[in-house]
Amino acid sequence: MFASLISDFLNIDYLIHNPWWLLAFLFQLWMFIDAVRRSEWFWAVFIFIGFGVSAILYFFIVYRGAAAASGATGFELPGAQSRARIKQLQAKIHHLDNAYHHFQLGDIYFQKGKFAEAEKSYRAALEREPNDIDTRGHLGQCLLRLNRPAEARPLLEAVCRENFKHDFGYSLMAYAETLTALGETDEALKIWQNVVENNSYPRAKVQLAEIYFARKQNELARAQLNDVVSDDVHAPTFQRKRDRVWISRAKGLLRQMN
């Protein structure tokens, strides 16, 4: 079907009399290219030989599903939200003005990369509930992304002291990044080693490898980087998209070492 659409697309007279086929072709081409880019070979073949319904199925099952699962360039908080959810929370805040809704709104802004707005929401949540560990942890991560590690440190340090595994280790990774930004690489190294012992996050392994590389411990660095690259081959599509910044850094560092 896709091949016949290509021949029809090259026929100008046909397109003039059937403009909807042009739209169908462009949509199917878009989905086909996306499937190839994601290495979704089964879907790519299905779209190439199938009717338009295959492209529609791919759009809803894979394309939109992967978008919903992705986060903010390797630094995400779990989950994904929409503009409608922002409006809903703003309405709840207007009527109820409680800490939880401010916190949720902060998480949405964080996921969208709007860290200044996220900071305002987290601080509003803390004004209403000063001891909430999640809000303190996420505010610390937010301040780190705003290049204010000195302000992030006491928040993240306290959160990790209360709960070493807070946010599935994301707070601990943010604390290690904060220490690195402040030049305290000895302490950061210990934390990265602990994270890698208990998790398989590419974010942790790459940054641990970068410290090893800076200390000329190339074999230790290479072991972490090879793990990241080999694990990526078998990872699901949404995870590969989420971690691509770390995969790219891992491959770049391996090239420097070779």
User: What are 231-243's pLDDT values in tens digits?
Assistant: 888 888 878 888 8
pLDDT at 12: 52
pLDDT at 119: 97
Nearest residue to 246 via CA among 191, 207, 193:
207
User: What are 91-106's pLDDT values in tens digits?
Assistant: 888 788 889 899 999 9
pLDDT at 249: 93
Q: Which residues contact 153 (CB under 8 A, 6 or more apart)?
A: 140, 175, 178, 179, 182
Check: pTM over 0.85? Answer yes or no: no
What is the percent of the chain where pLDDT is above 90? 52
Question: Strand runs (DSSP E) across the chain, as ranges?
Answer: none
pLDDT at 178: 97
Instruction: Report the CATH architecture of 75-191.
Output: Alpha Horseshoe (1.25)
User: What are 51-84's pLDDT values in tens digits?
Assistant: 567 777 777 766 665 544 443 444 545 444 466 7
d(CA 254, CA 251): 5
Of all helices (H) and strands (E), which one includes residue 181? helix 170-181
pLDDT at 193: 96
In the chain, CATH 1.25.40.10 covers 75-191
pLDDT at 31: 77
- Dihedral angle at the C-alpha atoms of 218, 220, 223, 224, nearest 10 degrees? -100
d(CA 142, CA 132): 16
pLDDT band at 254 (very low <50, low <70, confident <90, very high): very high
pLDDT at 16: 53
d(CA 253, CA 212): 11
